[in-house]
Chains A and B, each alone.
Chain A
Amino acid sequence: DVKVTQSSRYLVKRTGEKVFLECVQDMDHENMFWYRQDPGLGLRLIYFSYDVKMKEKGDIPEGYSVSREKKERFSLILESASTNQTSMYLCASSLSARATYEQYFGPGTRLTVT
């Protein structure tokens, strides 16, 4: 089975802190994604990566950056956390960019910024 793991299920940070959210997949998938999920807004794509060291902005990249140094690991970075970044963050991976391949999701990180 595909396994996507995220470093924390719950995280509480202070405004202005630098925050790292880690995601690891164990199935040699090419593509990895970071979403945030807010009530009434569904899932919104922050960034995605289709290869090591490659990244593309999603719909809401402002205030975030990403890093993919190894194929299995995709990190989301909040350079200076703000209260409006309090949200559920979901990481996903897929085998390739073909639309027929589903995305596999991690368990999510619920981040609270105070």
Chain B
Amino acid sequence: AQKITQTQPGMFVQEKEAVTLDCTYDTSDQSYGLFWYKQPSSGEMIFLIYQGSYDEQNATEGRYSLNFQKARKSANLVISASQLGDSAMYFCAMREIFGGANSKLTFGKGITLSVRP
């Protein structure tokens, strides 16, 4: 069974600084995908970034990058140059790649990030 762990309490960061949101995972699968989603107070889940387990380079999308350490089973999200609009809840999720139609996305419990002006 897959498991995602996000244990940080509410995180605070000063505007324009970088912040790292932690995510560890547990799986017996060799092939899997890792995702990060953002959920602002409006409620909609917004996809941020994806990392495949066989990708050799860490994924980057604009100000978001994923610090992937496969041996440690961690997939931390790094947000550079934080903006006030980054204040939201952030979810880490994973899915096995060859699970077919029955392969579901497993989510962590989320981390709340607050950006201070």
Question: Is B truly associated with A?
Answer: yes
B-side contacts of A88, CB under 8 Å: 43
Contact with B109, one of A42, A100, A105 (Cβ below 8 angstroms): A42
With A40-B109, A50-B101, A100-B50 already in contact, 16 other A-B pairs whose C-beta atoms are closer than 8 Å: A9-B43, A43-B91, A59-B104, A92-B45, A97-B100, A97-B103, A99-B31, A99-B96, A99-B98, A100-B33, A100-B97, A105-B37, A105-B44, A105-B45, A107-B43, A110-B43
Report how far A97 CA is from B33 CA in the complex, Å. Answer: 12
Interface residues on A, range: 20 to 34
**Chain B 22-55 interface 0/1 with A at a Cβ cutoff of 8 Å (1 = within):** 0000000001110101000011111100101000
- Asked if A31 is at the interface (CB within 8 A of a chain B CB), the reply is yes
- CB pair B52 A104 closer than 8 Å: no
How many inter-chain residue pairs (CB < 8 Å) link A and B? Answer: 65
Contact with B50, one of A31, A59, A97, A102 (Cβ below 8 angstroms): A102
Contact with A42, one of B33, B35, B108 (Cβ below 8 angstroms): B108
A-side contacts of B105, CB under 8 Å: 33, 45, 103
Interface residues of A in 82-106 (CB under 8 A from B): 88, 90, 92, 97-100, 102-106
Contact with A103, one of B42, B47, B98 (Cβ below 8 angstroms): B47
